[in-house]
Structure 1
Amino acid sequence: MTKLKHIYLSINEMETIKKGLFKDLPELKLIRVDENGLEKIEPGAFENLPKLKKLVLDNNKLRKIDDGVLENLPSLQTLFLQNNELDGINVNTFKTLDQLEVLWLQGNKLKEMKKGDIDNLKNLRELNLNDNEIRVLRPGFIDGLTKLEEVDLSNNKLTVIPNGVFSKSSITDLKLGNNDIVTIEPGAFEGAHMFDLDLRGNDLLEVTVGVFNSIFVNRLDLSDNKIEVIKDSAFDGSNFQFLHLDGNKIHQLRSGVFENVKVTVVSVKNTNLTDRDLVSLRDLSISFNFNSGTDSRQARSVIR
C-alpha cells in the first residue's frame, strides 16, 4: 500500500477528510475526492505527500479551506475546487503551493479577487473563476504571476474593469464575457499581447479612447453589448486580426475609428449598419462581415 500512486474516492458520502488520512501513502501522485458530500478538510489531511501532483476536490460542499490544509504539498501542479460553496479565499489558502500550474475555482460563491489571494502562485498558468459571484477585481490580484496564460472570469457580476488590473500581464486568453460590465477604465489592458480577449455579452455603451489603444490581440470580441458609439482613435496603435462588433446598436463607423489601427476582419453582423454606412471606409484594406441578408458583392465593393 505504501507504493500506491493513485487513489480514487469519488462519488461517496465522505463529509470530512481527517488529519493524516494519507500520511502512510507518500508515493501518491493523484488524489480524487470529488462528488462527495465533503464539508470539511482538517489541517494536516494531506501531510507527508511530497510527490502529489494532482488533487481533485470538485463537486462537494466546501465553504472554506482552513489554514494548513494545503501546506506541505511541494509538487502539487493541479488543484480542482470547482462547484463547491467557497465564498472567499484566505490569504494563507494557497500560500505554499509554489509549483501549482492549474487552479479551477469555477462554480463557487466568490465575491471578489484581491491582492494576496493568489499572487504567490508564481508558476500558475491557468486560472478558472467562471460562474462565481465576483463583483470586484482589485488591482494587484495577479501581480507577479508572470507565467499566467489563461484566465476565465466569464459569468460573474463584474461592472467595472479597473485601471491596471490586467496591464502588462502575460495573459494570452482572457474571458470576461457575460458579466455586467459598463465601464472599462483606461489602462486596464495596457501593453496587452493576447490571442483572445472576450468581452461579449456585457453592458458597454461606447468604446472610448484609452481602453483598447496600443494593444496586440488576435481576436477582440465586443459582440452582444449595447455599444452605440465608437470614438475616433479608440483603437489607435493597436493590431487585431479579428474584431467582433456583432449584436450591438452601432449605426455609424467613421473613418477615424480605423485610421491608425491594423485590423484584417471586422464583423458587424446584427447591428444597425449596412454597406452604405461604410462608404467612407472604402479605401481601407479591411474585410467587413455584414448581416446574412446583405449582398456580399455589395459589401466587397465598399472596401475596394
Structure 2
Amino acid sequence: MTTVAMTILLLSTSSLLLHCSALPFQQRGFWDFGKDIDVRDLMMTMMKDQEEGSAFEEVSPPDHPTCPFGCVCQLRVVQCSDLGLTHVPYDIPPDTLLLDLQCNMITEIREGDFKGLTNLYALVLRNNQISRVHPRAFLPLKRMQKLYMSHNQLTSIPRNLPASLVELRIHDNHIQKVLAGTFSGMGNMHVIEMGRNPLQNSGFEPGAFTGLKLNYLRISEAKLTGVPKDLPESLHELHVDHNQIQAIELEDLSQYKHLQRLGLSFNHIRHIEHGVLSYLPNLRELHLDNNRLSSVPSGLPESKYLQVVYLHSNNISSIGLDDFCPTGFGMKRVFYNGISLFSNPIHYWEVQPATFRCVSERTAVQFGNYKK
C-alpha cells in the first residue's frame, strides 16, 4: 500500500467516516489526546507508521477478496460504521489493517470475532453498546497498536489486551475498578484515556499500573477525591480535572519528576501543600482554574521551565510581588507566556508591575473583570 494510494483513499472516503453524534478528533499536537478520534487522522498515523516500518509486516492478500455486507473495503481499510450492526461481521478480510466499527449497536465482543486478523493496526469500536468482552477476544491481534472503545457500557477494562498496544481510549463507560495486572506486559503503552467513568480512588487496586511506561493519562470527570496513588512514574502528562479533589499533598506528586503538563481544573482544591511543585522540575503547564484557592500556590518562582499557569475562577484576593518570579538571577530558565487570573476578587490596579517581571509580554497576563 503506497502513500499515494492511501491519500486517494482518504480523499475518496472522507464523507463516509463520521456520521454519529460524537465530534471529530483533530490531533494537531502531542497534547491533544483527550479529544475524540477522527478515522481520517488515524489513517494518516497508520500511513506514517507504515512508512517508518514500525507497524506492519507484509501479508499476502486473500485469493478471494471478501467484504462484509454494507461495508467499504479498500486498501486494507474496512469501514463498517453507522450500519446498525449488532455483532462484529464474520467475513473481515484477513489482511485488514484498520477496522472501523464505530456507531453501531454491538453489545458483545465474542471470542472468535477477530480470528485471523493478526496484522490489524487499529480497531475502532466507539459509540456502540458493548458491555461484555470475551477474555480471549483480543488474543489474535498480535500487532494491534490502537484500540478505541469509548462511549460504550463496559464495567471493566477488557482482559488480555495485546502487548503491542500503544494507545487505549476507553472513556465514557461504566468502569468502577482497575484491577491489579490489568496492563501486565504492556511495555509499549503510551496513552490511556479513561475519563468519564465512575472511578473512585478505591477503584484502583495496588499494582494496577505496575510495569507500565506511560506518557499520557487522563482520568477526568470521575469521582476522585485525590490524585490516585502509584501511577506510572514515566508520566509526561496527567489530567484529573472535573473531579472532587480538595487538596494536593506532598506524597500525591512526589514520584512524577518527568511530568510536563498537569491538569487539576474544576475540582474543589483549597490547599496545595508547600513544596509540592519542587517534585515537578520539568513542569511546563499547570491548570488550577475553577477551584477554591485563596492564594497563589507557593513554588511557582522556583519552577524553572513553567510557562503557562491557569488560576482563573478561584478565590484569590491578592498577589504578592514574588508569587510568580524569582528574586535572584539564573533561577528561572524560561519566561511565562500565559498567566490567567480573571474571575478572582483581585484589584488588578493594586498589583505591582514588577510582579510579572519574568513574563514574556504584557498580553500574557489576563486579569479581566471580577463579578461576584
Could you say which TM-score interval applies, normalised by the shorter chain?
A: 0.7 to 0.9
3-state secondary structure, aligned to 1:220: strand
3-state secondary structure, aligned to 2:252: coil
Q: CA deviation at 1:39?
A: 1.5
CA distance change for structure 1 residues 83 and 211 in 2, over 3 Å: closer, same or farther? same
CA distance change for structure 1 residues 6 and 237 in 2, over 3 Å: closer, same or farther? same
Read off the aligned partner of 2:271 and give its amino acid letter. Answer: V
* Residue aligning to 1:226: 268
* Residue aligning to 1:243: 286
Q: Bigger CA drift: 219-228 or 207-216?
A: 207-216
* Residue aligning to 1:108: 152
Read off the aligned partner of 2:148 and give its amino acid letter. Answer: W
Residues 254-273 of structure 1 mapped to structure 2, 5 A cutoff: 255=298, 257=299, 262-265=304-307, 266-273=309-316
3-state secondary structure, aligned to 1:289: strand
Is the 8 Å Cα contact of residues 252 and 277 (structure 1) preserved in structure 2?
no
Separation in 1, partners of 2:184, 2:352: 45
CA distance change for structure 1 residues 140 and 259 in 2, over 3 Å: closer, same or farther? farther
Give CA deviations for 1:49-71 in whole Å, capped at 9, x if unaligned.
43111212111111111111112
Separation in 2, partners of 1:30, 1:280: 54
* Residue aligning to 1:188: 231
* Residue aligning to 1:292: 342
Give CA deviations for 1:186-237 in whole Å, capped at 9, x if unaligned.
3224x2231x322211111111222212421221111111111112233332
Q: Unpaired segments of 5 or more residues in structure 1?
A: 12-24
Q: CA deviation at 1:98?
A: 0.6
Read off the aligned partner of 1:192 and give its amino acid letter. Answer: S
CA distance change for structure 1 residues 65 and 244 in 2, over 3 Å: closer, same or farther? same
Give CA deviations for 1:138-178 in whole Å, capped at 9, x if unaligned.
23222222222222112222222635544663322222222
Is the 8 Å Cα contact of residues 220 and 244 (structure 1) preserved in structure 2?
yes
Greater helix share, structure number:
2
3-state secondary structure, aligned to 1:235: helix
3-state secondary structure, aligned to 1:264: coil
* Residue aligning to 2:241: 200
CA distance change for structure 1 residues 86 and 227 in 2, over 3 Å: closer, same or farther? same
CA distance change for structure 1 residues 71 and 302 in 2, over 3 Å: closer, same or farther? same
Q: Is 1:137–2:178 an aligned residue pair?
A: yes
CA distance change for structure 1 residues 281 and 136 in 2, over 3 Å: closer, same or farther? same
Read off the aligned partner of 1:71 and give its amino acid letter. Answer: K
Is the 8 Å Cα contact of residues 300 and 325 (structure 2) preserved in structure 1?
no
Give CA deviations for 1:249-304 in whole Å, capped at 9, x if unaligned.
0113564x558755513321111124435756653648582423763993752365
Q: Which has the higher contact order (CA 8 A, sep 6+)?
A: 1
Separation in 2, partners of 1:95, 1:278: 59
* Residue aligning to 2:127: 83
3-state secondary structure, aligned to 2:278: coil
Separation in 2, partners of 1:234, 1:85: 42
Give CA deviations for 1:8-34 in whole Å, capped at 9, x if unaligned.
7249xxxxxxxxxxxxx9x97222222
Greater strand share, structure number:
1
Separation in 2, partners of 1:297, 1:88: 59
Separation in 1, partners of 2:109, 2:324: 56
Is the 8 Å Cα contact of residues 253 and 278 (structure 1) preserved in structure 2?
no
**Alignment length (residue pairs):** 281
Q: Unpaired segments of 5 or more residues in structure 2?
A: 1-61, 358-372
* Residue aligning to 1:17: none
3-state secondary structure, aligned to 2:351: helix
Read off the aligned partner of 2:270 and give its amino acid letter. Answer: E
3-state secondary structure, aligned to 1:79: strand
Is the 8 Å Cα contact of residues 227 and 240 (structure 2) preserved in structure 1?
no
Name the TM-score, length of structure 2 as normaliser. Answer: 0.66
Is the 8 Å Cα contact of residues 275 and 299 (structure 1) preserved in structure 2?
no
CA distance change for structure 1 residues 290 and 78 in 2, over 3 Å: closer, same or farther? closer
3-state secondary structure, aligned to 1:124: coil
CA distance change for structure 1 residues 57 and 296 in 2, over 3 Å: closer, same or farther? farther
CA distance change for structure 1 residues 259 and 167 in 2, over 3 Å: closer, same or farther? farther
Separation in 2, partners of 1:248, 1:139: 32
Identity of aligned residues (%): 19
Separation in 2, partners of 1:72, 1:50: 6
